Amino acid sequence: QIQIEDDRTGLSIETLRRAIADNLFYIQGKFPAIATKHDYYMALAYTVRDRLLHRWLNTLEVYLKQDVKLVCYLSAEYLVGPHLVNNLINLGIYEQIRQAVEESGLNLQQLINTEEEPGLGNGGLGRLASCYMDSLASLEIPAIGYGIRYEFGIFDQEIKDGWQVEITDKWLQDGNPWEIARPEAAVSVKFGGHTESYLDDQGNYRVRWLPEYIVKGIPYDTPILGYKVNTANSMRLWTSEACESFDFQRFNVGDYYGAVDRKVFSENLTKVLYPNDEPIKGKELRLQQQYFFVSCSLQDMIRIHLNEGNTLDNFAEKFAVQLNDTHPSIGVAELMRLLIDVHYYPWEKAWEITEKTFGFTNHTLLPEALERWPLGLFGHLLPRHLEIIYEINKRFLDQVRLKYPGNNEKLSSLSLIDERGDKYVRMAHLACVGSHKINGVAQLHSELLKKTLLKDFYELLPEKFTNVTNGVTPRRWMVVSNPELSQLISSKIGENWIKNLDELRKLEGFIDDGGFRQQWREVKRKVKQDLAQYIHDKLGIIVSPDSLFDVQVKRLHEYKRQHLNVLHIITLYNRIKQNPNLDITPRTFIFGGKAAPGYHQAKLIIKLINSVGDIVNHDPEIGERLKVVFLPDYNVTLGQRVYPAADLSEQISTAGKEASGTGNMKFSLNGALTIGTFDGANIEIREEVGEENFFLFGLKTEEIDQLRAQGYNPQDYYNSNPELKAAIDLINSGFFSHGDGGLFQLLINSLLYLDHYLLFADYQSYLDCQERVSQAYKDQEHWTRMSILNTARMGKFSSDRSIREYCDKIWNTSPVPIQMKD
- CB of 364: closest distance to ligand 26M in angstroms? 5
- CB of 561: closest distance to ligand 26M in angstroms? 13
Work out which of 252, 276, 310, 721 binds ligand 26M, going by CB under 6 A: 276
- CB of 47: closest distance to ligand 26M in angstroms? 34
The reply on whether position 447 binds ligand 26M by CB under 6 A is no
Closer to ligand 26M at the Cβ: 338 or 556?
556
Closer to ligand 26M at the Cβ: 371 or 633?
371
Nearest in space to 519 (alpha carbons), one of 788, 123, 209: 788
Closer to ligand 26M at the Cβ: 286 or 464?
286
Q: Which of 363, 475, 528, 627 is catalytic?
A: 363
x/- mask, ligand 26M, residues 450-489, rule CB under 6 A, reads --------------------x-------------------
The reply on whether position 658 binds ligand 26M by CB under 6 A is yes
Work out which of 79, 441, 606, 761 binds ligand 26M, going by CB under 6 A: 441
- CA dist 672 and 477 (Å) reads 13
Residue 443 DSSP class = H
Residues 6+ apart with CB under 8 A from 272: 150, 151, 152
User: Is residue 311 among the annotated active site residues?
Assistant: no
The reply on whether position 656 binds ligand 26M by CB under 6 A is no
Residue 653 DSSP class = P
Nearest in space to 481 (alpha carbons), one of 627, 646, 632, 633: 646
- CA dist 755 and 560 (Å) reads 13
- CB of 125: closest distance to ligand 26M in angstroms? 3
Closer to ligand 26M at the Cβ: 223 or 279?
279
Closer to ligand 26M at the Cβ: 245 or 452?
452
Work out which of 40, 274, 293, 630 binds ligand 26M, going by CB under 6 A: 274
- CA dist 145 and 73 (Å) reads 5
- CB of 704: closest distance to ligand 26M in angstroms? 17
Closer to ligand 26M at the Cβ: 167 or 280?
280
The reply on whether position 277 binds ligand 26M by CB under 6 A is yes
Residue 769 contacts residue 695 (beta carbons within 8 Å): yes
Pick the stretch among 219-227, 616-624, 660-668, 813-821 that binds ligand 26M (CB under 6 A): 660-668
User: Is residue 555 among the annotated active site residues?
Assistant: yes
The reply on whether position 666 binds ligand 26M by CB under 6 A is no
- CB of 420: closest distance to ligand 26M in angstroms? 21
Residues 6+ apart with CB under 8 A from 568: 766, 767, 770
Neighbours of 794 (CB within 10 A): 29
Work out which of 10, 142, 217, 279 binds ligand 26M, going by CB under 6 A: 279
- CB of 121: closest distance to ligand 26M in angstroms? 8
User: Is residue 662 among the annotated active site residues?
Assistant: yes
DSSP for 350-395, please give it: HHHHHHHHEEEE-----GGG--EEEHHHHHHH-HHHHHHHHHHHHH
Closer to ligand 26M at the Cβ: 8 or 283?
283
Q: Which of 385, 410, 554, 561 is catalytic?
A: 554
Nearest in space to 146 (alpha carbons), one of 327, 367, 368, 404: 327
Q: Which of 49, 426, 560, 603 is catalytic?
A: 560
- CA dist 529 and 512 (Å) reads 26
Neighbours of 563 (CB within 10 A): 24
Closer to ligand 26M at the Cβ: 179 or 277?
277
User: Is residue 363 among the annotated active site residues?
Assistant: yes
In the three-class reduction of DSSP (H, G, I as helix; E, B as strand; rest coil), residue 539 is classed as: helix
E strand residue ranges, 149-274: 156-160, 163-167, 180-181, 187-191, 194-199, 205-210, 213-225, 232-242
x/- mask, ligand 26M, residues 624-653, rule CB under 6 A, reads ------------------------------
Residue 289 contacts residue 76 (beta carbons within 8 Å): yes
Residue type, 711: G
Residue 201 contacts residue 114 (beta carbons within 8 Å): no
User: Is residue 524 among the annotated active site residues?
Assistant: no
Pick the stretch among 120-128, 228-236, 331-339, 729-737 that binds ligand 26M (CB under 6 A): 120-128
The reply on whether position 662 binds ligand 26M by CB under 6 A is yes
Binding to ligand 26M in span 365-384, by CB under 6 A: 369, 371
Nearest in space to 440 (alpha carbons), one of 461, 460, 464, 469: 469
Cα radius of gyration rounded to whole Å, the chain? 28
- CA dist 325 and 320 (Å) reads 15
The reply on whether position 443 binds ligand 26M by CB under 6 A is no
User: Is residue 554 among the annotated active site residues?
Assistant: yes
**Residue 416: exposed, middle, or buried by beta-carbon count in 10 A (0-12, 13-18, 19+)?**
buried
- CB of 470: closest distance to ligand 26M in angstroms? 5
Binding to ligand 26M in span 125-154, by CB under 6 A: 125, 128
- CB of 560: closest distance to ligand 26M in angstroms? 9
Pick the stretch among 3-11, 362-370, 517-525, 532-540 that binds ligand 26M (CB under 6 A): 362-370
How many residues does this entry show for the chain?
A: 822
Work out which of 489, 659, 699, 818 binds ligand 26M, going by CB under 6 A: 659
The reply on whether position 286 binds ligand 26M by CB under 6 A is yes
Binding to ligand 26M in span 304-323, by CB under 6 A: none
Work out which of 174, 278, 447, 687 binds ligand 26M, going by CB under 6 A: 278
CA-to-CA dists, residue 758 to 174, 557, 707, angstroms: 46, 14, 10
Closer to ligand 26M at the Cβ: 51 or 363?
363
Indicate the residue whose CB is closest to ligand 26M.
Answer: 124
The reply on whether position 413 binds ligand 26M by CB under 6 A is no
In the three-class reduction of DSSP (H, G, I as helix; E, B as strand; rest coil), residue 11 is classed as: coil
Q: Which of 49, 555, 625, 804 is catalytic?
A: 555
- CA dist 671 and 784 (Å) reads 9
Backbone angles phi, psi at 86, to 5 degrees: -65, -40
Neighbours of 583 (CB within 10 A): 7
- CB of 129: closest distance to ligand 26M in angstroms? 9
Pick the stretch among 29-37, 269-277, 533-541, 760-768 that binds ligand 26M (CB under 6 A): 269-277
DSSP for 750-811, please give it: HHHHT-TT-HHHHHHHHHHHHHHHHHHHH-HHHHHHHHHHHHHT-GGGBHHHHHHHHIIIII
Residues 6+ apart with CB under 8 A from 434: 329, 331, 332, 333, 354, 355, 358, 360, 392
Q: Which of 571, 654, 662, 701 is catalytic?
A: 662
Closer to ligand 26M at the Cβ: 49 or 286?
286
Give start and end residues of each alpha helix (H) in 404-507: 408-414, 427-433, 443-451, 455-460, 474, 483-493
User: How, if at all, do strands 372-374 and 358-361 pair?
Assistant: unpaired
Pick the stretch among 156-164, 341-349, 540-548, 656-664 that binds ligand 26M (CB under 6 A): 656-664
Q: Which of 51, 55, 587, 666 is catalytic?
A: 666
- CB of 175: closest distance to ligand 26M in angstroms? 28
Say what the alpha-carbon torsion angle 409, 410, 415, 417 is, to the nearest 10 degrees: 10
- CA dist 821 and 807 (Å) reads 28
Pick the stretch among 118-126, 226-234, 512-520, 761-769 that binds ligand 26M (CB under 6 A): 118-126
Task: Kindly determine how many residues on this chain lie close enough to bind ligand 26M according to the rule CB under 6 A.
Answer: 25
- Kindly list the catalytic residues: 363, 554-555, 560, 662, 666
The binding site for ligand 26M (CB under 6 A) comprises 122-125, 128, 274, 276-280, 286, 327, 363-364, 369, 371, 441, 470, 658-662, 680
